[in-house]
Each structure stands twice: as structure tokens, then as C-alpha cells.
Structure 1
Amino acid sequence: MSAPRRVFGFVEWTLRPDRDDDAPPVTYAFRCLALREDDSECGERSQASADPCVPQEWAFGHLRENPEHTSYAEVIERPWVMWRGGPA
């Protein structure tokens, strides 16, 4: 008795930024990297916004409240999508 014959179909996939009309927006946020007295990271974070200026305003407000917190990371979320192509 022979094993059943198997046929494999290979497909190319492409990963690209999702720029379709129904794609989620690119969002921006800032996270405070300053260290506290116990060496833990502050970690406070702005709200995500499609307008990159909004989180920057948060960073200035956070600095006013915490003059020693001068280090930040920008967090950008950009949607990506996989596209199935033809046979490889």
C-alpha cells in the first residue's frame, strides 16, 4: 500500500503598510523614560493620537510637573497588512 500523493501550492506574501481607506490610523504617543529614585522607570505615557503634536504637548506638561523627567520615547503604531500574491 503506497502513501497518499500530496500536492503543495506555494504562495508569495507581501507585507506593506496598510494605506487603504479603511485602515486604522497611524498613532503617536510619548512615554517617559526618566528613572525614579529606586531606579524604576517612570513609564507614564500620553494618550495615543493621530496628531503627533498632541503627545508632544503631553511631554511638555509632564516635564512642567516633573522637571527632572527629561527623557522620552516616541511610540508610533503604524498598521501593516499581508497581501497574498500569485504562485511563487
Structure 2
Amino acid sequence: MSAHAVIRYADWMISPETAPEAPAIVHELQCTTCRSSSEANEDFETVRNWAFQHVGRHPSHTAYREIIHRFWRATLVR
């Protein structure tokens, strides 16, 4: 068996996926005090409401990390 490889320099561009069938951006918030986190959701308001409820139950938990799942596509530049 033989292997054949072609290696060459190429320019690539990476950008957010814009195809109509691309998954939506998904948001999540994580409390940096206790590491509890919201469910991942396409609707940021749902995630934000989780943070309001969390800080309401735990008034000293005031800092949050946003986790965003955004889909990207690499494209060969010709």
C-alpha cells in the first residue's frame, strides 16, 4: 500500500456560519462562585432569568461567566 500527500500553502478564512441550516448561537451562564450553571439555551433571556433566580437565592453569588456556543466555518480563499 502506498500513501500520497499533497502539501501546499493555502490562505484560509474563518467566520461565523451563515448557512440557513446552521445551528443557532447557544448561550449559557455559569456562577463563578459555586460553578452552578444554567441550561444551554438559544434564548439569552431564559439564561439571564436563571442568573437572576440564582442570585436571588444566593445573594453573595454576583459574578457569572458567559459560555457561548457559536458555529464557525473555515473557507479556502482562492
Give the shorter-chain TM-score range. Answer: 0.7 to 0.9
- Tell me the CA shift for residue 11 of structure 1: 2.5
Larger of the two Rg values belongs to structure: 1
Identity %: 30
Q: TM-score, normalised by structure 2?
A: 0.81
Q: Which residue of 2 aligns with 1:27?
A: 26
Q: What RMSD in Å do the two structures reach over aligned CA positions?
A: 1.6
- Uncovered stretches (5+) of structure 1, i.e. residues with no partner: 1-6, 35-41
Q: 2 CA distance for matches of 1:51 and 1:31?
A: 15
Q: Which residue of 2 aligns with 1:17?
A: 16
Q: TM-score, normalised by structure 1?
A: 0.73
SS in 2 for 1:44: coil
- Uncovered stretches (5+) of structure 2, i.e. residues with no partner: 1-5
Q: Which residue of 2 aligns with 1:52?
A: 44
SS in 2 for 1:53: helix
- Tell me the CA shift for residue 9 of structure 1: 3.8
Q: 1 CA distance for matches of 2:29 and 2:13?
A: 30
Q: Which residue of 2 aligns with 1:62?
A: 54
SS in 2 for 1:56: helix
